[in-house]
Structures are given as structure tokens and as C-alpha cells.
Chains A and B, each alone.
Chain A
Amino acid sequence: MNRGILSSRLLTFLFWIAMSALTLLPVWWMFLVSVRTRADLFGKPSFLLDLSAMTWENYAAVLSNPTFQKYMTNSLIVATSNAVLVSMLALLAAYAMSRFALAGKDNLFFWVLTNRMAPPAVFLLPLFLMFTGFRIGDWSLFDTRIGLILLYCVFNLPFAFWLLQGIVDAIPRELDEAAYVDGASTFTVLMTVIFPLARPGLAVTGILTWVFAWNEYLFASTLTSVDARTITTGLAEFVTVTGTNWGELAAVAMLTLAPAALVLALVQRHIVAGLTFGAVKG
């Protein structure tokens, strides 16, 4: 190998080392703040982890706090239920879109996608009025997990639909035609042909929609008050309520971003696949 190529490879390598450091720096700093005692926080900032002075007390304080436990549980329930609901509904919708000659298909597809494009702040007011106004006896949608699970469909369902349509389109029609010829019903075809073949795509859809639901803040903060608050709203409350407890703030933030970071390696190829698919299909 000639020297020019070698040195340019080395330069690129060093460039990416520096870029990665730049990307990780803020997160690393937050981790450091979360494992330091209050006394160690101020003064000259150090990016080195002092193992002997490391403490888990911020995490312990947060995790043993009943309010925070509730937020965490709510987030888990809302994100998981929403991801499952959305993946199932979108699979059915994608199958319908892919295999049936539905009138006005293209417009319908565009309309579904517009729901994801809409700026959420625009819909805060009507949603707030709907959530507080829709009552069955004493029960209203406001401040319930069910409310959030349904509402998160507005951005996750179009996304799942978009992703799964490409996946269902890629399943050869001959396979379900053959099953129909054998006398299978639509339901059987969905369960025995489409579902198994779409499973990898469904997993990606499920994971990504789960992350989106977990990450959501604006709706959760305005449409819940006590019972159904999620971890993202809890994180925002830290700034306004306790203000200066940076260690615990950092611990909550670390716990908020942890799940997304953990699944990153699993889905990163598909983030791209989903997006390139969009570039090709619009």
C-alpha cells in the first residue's frame, strides 16, 4: 500500500476519533455529574472519572423516590402498549394498502403521513380541551395512560405504516396468492404468511416507535398532571422544582436516555434503511 493512502487513512481515522469524542463529550459529562457528590461538582471541570470518589447516591435517591418510580412505570407502560398497538394496526393497514385496490390510495397515504408532520404544539389546545372534555362519569381522558397511549398513535402510527408498507410490499404477492388458492382466509394469510415474513420489520418498527413514545415530552407534559406523568416530564420538573440538584437531574437524564442508547446498536442500520426507503419512495 502506498504511503499517501496510508496517511490519508490514518488522518480519517484520527478525524473520526475526534468526532466521536465530540459526540460523546456532553453525554460523558452528564454521566460524570451523575456519579459525583455535590461537593465535587463545582470548580475546575474535570473530564476524568475519579473511581475512588465515584458515588451512586444520585441514582439511589432517584430510584428510591416513589414519584420517580411512578413516572418510570408510566413511561414503560405507555411506550410498550403504544409500540405494540401501533405495530399491529400498521401491519394490517400496510397489508390493505399493499394488496387491495383502495380508492384514493395515494391521497390516503399522504393524509396518513401528514399526521406525523404536524407540529404538536399546534394541537395542544384542542387536545387539552378534548382530553378534559371527554368524560364518562367522573372519568376523563386527561391524566390517564390510556389517553397517552392513544394519542401517541398520531405520530407513531404514520411512521409504522410508512415503514411496514415497504416491508409488506417486499413480500412476494405469489406467497399470499398461493395461500388464497388453497382456501385460506385473509386472517389466516396475515397470520401464517405476512406476519412471520414481516417479523424482522415488525421488530424494528416496534423498537423505533417504542423509543419515540418513550422520548415524547410536549403532549405528556400538557395532558397529564399527577397520575400519568412520564419520565420526560419528570426530567423537566427537575429544573423548575428542585432547580439546583444537578446530580439527580443528571441521573434522571441518564436513565431517560439509557434505553434508547441500549437499542441503538440493534436498530441503527434500520434507521438508515427507513430513511433511504423514504428517499426512494417519498
Chain B
Amino acid sequence: MRNTTTGWLLIAPTLFILFITGMVPFLYVLAVGFLDWNTFAANPEPRFAGVDNFRRLVFDAAFLKSLWLTFKFTLFVLASQLIIGFFLAKMLMRNVPLKGLFRTVHTLPLMIAPIAVGATWRLMTVPGLGPIPHWMQQWFDISYVLSRFPDQAFATVVIMDIWHWTPLVTLTLMAGLSNLPEEPLEQARIDGAGEWRIFWDITLPFLKPVLLTTIFIRLMDALRTVDEVWMLTGGGPGAETRFIGLHIWRVVFPKTDYGYGAAMSLITLYLTIVMCWLLYVAMTGMKEKSR
């Protein structure tokens, strides 16, 4: 092996930039989380507050609600996207004319800026202008106003996310499915196994690493969804679609409650890391076994 100093020199700029943009903010937020610091308060100077911020968080109904909404949203979109994505992957693997074109069209939402996705859906749902309120009224006699009905707002945000991110699941699962070995499948068919049996006992175990990776990527993205929801509902009505990212933003900027916002950020980060770590461990464990 060649001199490792050269290697470190080559990787140094990358590590340095990530240290400044990733590690330093992390340490900073860690420190501020233990301070009582609100620039609008009677005493705007930062003071050490121990774990007060964290103690406050446990009883903060708005924060807990926002966390709960985020989890609910994540659960809904993950489940829907996995099921729809699997089905679409199967459909896209069939031999169909214009397959490439369909695939490209299906991939389009992935590349659109989240803020533009929000704008798109806003134009679809604005009462008086958008087609969705019009159809809801005409076909189902439902008054569809996002700024008034929490359930509609939440459902629309979920549907928007399904529209936006299902293609990613389709594409990864398709990659996984196309690597399935033919042999066990044929053997099972010859043995007369039903489609469900084949799905549970052959397809799913083979697909597991790809599935876990997909869940991993989608989980991280769903937990931090901000832009498109901000554009579509602004977190409303009330706080009914105010997911955790939006909530933190509100505490930090309009309210300038820095210490508290930092503590909130830390808890959010902690929960995200725990979930991702569990998945990561599951993933690496899986690979070890398959080796």
C-alpha cells in the first residue's frame, strides 16, 4: 500500500468542509440546548439552564403533537409508497410498448423541487381555481377547503407525498426484482406453489436488503419533510400539518427561543438517528449473513 499521508491529503478537504458544515453546527446546537436564550426575552443574554429545556419539552403539547403528526405522516406515506411502489414495479417490468417513456414520466416528480411540488398541489387545491375542490363538490358534494378541514389537509399532504416519492420506491424495487434469481421461482411454480406463497417465501426474502434500503431512504426523507407542506398548507389549518421541521423553524425564528429550539432539534435528531441506526444495523446484519 502506498503512503497513506497522500490519501489523507486527498480526503482532507472533504472532511474539513463536512466538519465545518455538519459537525460544528451539531456541537453548537448541542451547547445551545442547555442554555436559556431568547433574544426577545426580558433577559436576552444566554444563561446556563441545565436540562430545563428538555424537561419543558416533555410536557409541551405543541411539540408532542408535531412529533406525533410527523410519525403519523411517515407511517402513512411509507406504507402506501411501499405497496403502490411494489405494484408499479411489477407493472413496469412487464413487456409493454413505450416502456422507457412511461418510466421517464414516472420518474419526473423525483426531480422537481419540493417547493415547486408544493406550488403545483396548491394550484390543484385552491378553492375556486383548482380542479380538486371543483370535482369534490360536483361528484361527492364535499366541501373541500384545505385551510378549514384538518383531515383534508393531512390527507392531501399524504397524497402529495405519494405522488412525489412513490417513483423512488418503484425504481429501487424494480432494481431489486430484476435481480431475483429465476431458478427458485420456477422450481416453486413446478412444485405448484401459489403466488402468495411464492411472494412470502421467495420474493420477499430476496428483496429484503433492497426493501430495507428503500425504507431507510424514505424514512429519513419523510421525517424531515418541510418545503412542500409549507407551500401547500403552511402547516395549517391551525397546527394540523405542522410537522417537526416546521415546528422547530417556528420556535427558532419567529419566536427566537434559541435554547428551547435547540433542545427540540436535539430530540428530533436523536429520534431520527435511533430509527436510522436500527435500520442500518438490520441492513449490515443482513449483508453479513448473505455473504
Interface residues of B in 1-42 (CB under 8 A from A): 1-2, 4, 6-11, 13-15, 17-18, 20-22, 24-26, 28-29, 32
Residues of A40-71 contacting chain B, CB below 8 A: 41-42, 44-45, 47
Q: Is there an interface contact between A89 and B14, defined as CB atoms closer than 8 Å?
A: yes
Residues B175 and A276 in contact, CB atoms below 8 Å apart: yes
Q: Which of B56-113 contact A (CB under 8 A)?
A: 88, 91-92, 94-99, 101-113
Interface assignment of B126: CB less than 8 Å from any CB of chain A: yes
- With both chains docked as a complex, state the minimum distance between the C-beta of A100 and any C-beta of chain B, in angstroms: 3
**Which of B101, B107, B287: most chain A CB closer than 10 A?**
B107
Residues of chain A with a CB closer than 8 A to B174's CB = 272
Would you call A100 and B28 a contact (CB within 8 A)?
Answer: no
Tell me if A's interface is mostly helix, strand, loop or mixed.
Answer: helix
Instruction: Choose among A19, A44, A90, A125 the residue that contacts B134 (Cβ–Cβ < 8 A).
Output: A44
In the assembled complex, the Cα of A272 lies from the Cα of B175 at a distance in Å of: 7
User: Is B116 on the interface with A (CB-CB < 8 A)?
Assistant: yes
Q: How far is the CA of A151 from the CA of B169 in the complex (A)?
A: 28
Q: Is the CB of A126 within 8 A of B113?
A: no
Chain A residues within an 8 Å CB radius of B248: 121-122, 124-125
Could you say which residues of chain B place their CB within 8 Å of the CB of A271? 107, 110, 171
Q: Given A129-B28, A256-B115, does the pair A119, B268 have CB atoms closer than 8 Å?
A: yes
Contact B130 A45 (CB under 8 A): yes
For the complex, give the distance between the alpha carbons of A242 and B11 in Å: 47
Asked if B249 and A41 sit within 8 Å, CB to CB, the answer is: no
Q: CA of A279 to CA of B107 in the docked complex: distance in angstroms?
A: 18
B interface, size bucket: 35 or more
Contacts of A13 in B (CB 8 A): 96-98
Q: Pick out which of these stretches binds chain A: B117-125, B141-149, B181-189, B197-205.
A: B117-125
CB-contact partner of B94 in A12, A20, A27, A180, under 8 A: A12
- Chain A interface size, under 10 / 10 to 19 / 20 to 34 / 35 or more: 35 or more
Closest residue of chain B to A27 (Cβ to Cβ) is B120
* Known interface pairs A151-B21, A158-B18, A275-B171; A26-B230 also in contact (CB < 8 Å): no
Q: Is B227 an interface residue (CB 8 A)?
A: yes
- Report the Cα distance A232→B119, complex, angstroms: 10
Contact flag A217-B113 (CB < 8 Å), given A29-B123, A119-B269: yes
* Residues in A72-110 with C-beta less than 8 Å from chain B: 89-90, 92-93, 95-97, 99-103, 108
A residues engaging B (CB < 8 A)? 8-9, 12-13, 15-16, 19-20, 23-24, 26-27, 29-30, 33, 41-42, 44-45, 47, 89-90, 92-93, 95-97, 99-103, 108, 112, 114-115, 117-130, 150-151, 153-154, 157-158, 161, 180, 186, 211, 214-215, 217-218, 222, 232, 235-236, 238-239, 246, 249-250, 252-253, 256-257, 260-261, 263-265, 268, 271-272, 275-276, 278-280, 282
Q: Could you jot down 26 A-B contacts, CB within 8 Å?
A: A16-B92, A16-B98, A19-B102, A23-B108, A100-B8, A102-B11, A115-B22, A117-B272, A119-B223, A122-B265, A124-B253, A125-B252, A215-B116, A218-B249, A235-B115, A236-B115, A253-B123, A257-B112, A261-B111, A264-B104, A268-B107, A271-B110, A271-B171, A272-B172, A279-B176, A282-B287
Query: Which of B's residues lie within 8 Å of A, judged by CB?
Result: 1-2, 4, 6-11, 13-15, 17-18, 20-22, 24-26, 28-29, 32, 88, 91-92, 94-99, 101-116, 119-124, 126, 128-131, 134, 163, 168, 171-172, 174-176, 209-210, 213-214, 217, 220, 223-224, 226-227, 230-231, 234, 244-246, 248-249, 252-253, 258, 261-262, 265-266, 268-269, 272-273, 276, 280, 283-284, 287
